[in-house]
Amino acid sequence: MTHSLLLEVPESIYQPIVEEAEAEGRKIEEIALERLAVKKPKQIDDPFEKFIGSFDSKGMDWARRHDEYLGENLMRELRGENE
């Protein structure tokens, strides 16, 4: 089953699709559908991201695992282990 979808897109999105379709001899709709079908990970605003790399963490892997470390600390607090 297929469905029709009418979209209004800005020129900055439309033009590259037109150029790709022309270069490959394909329909604009084909290129647009391929781009819509690509799954991208959901972007999450991370309030700590702006601090990544701003200080020396003595070799720890804070940049990669900061959410995990914060979660572990929160669990210790909830259990009353940090007092």
Main-chain phi, psi angles of 19, to 5 degrees? -65, -40
Residue 55 falls in which region: left (phi positive, over 0), alpha (psi -120 to 50) or beta: beta
Low-confidence stretches of the chain (pLDDT < 50) are none
CA R_g for the chain: 23
Contact 42, 32 (CB under 8 A): no
Q: Return the pLDDT at 82.
A: 67
Burial class (CB in 10 A: 0-12, 13-18, 19+), 28: middle
Q: Return the pLDDT at 8.
A: 92
What are 46's two structure tokens? 């991370």
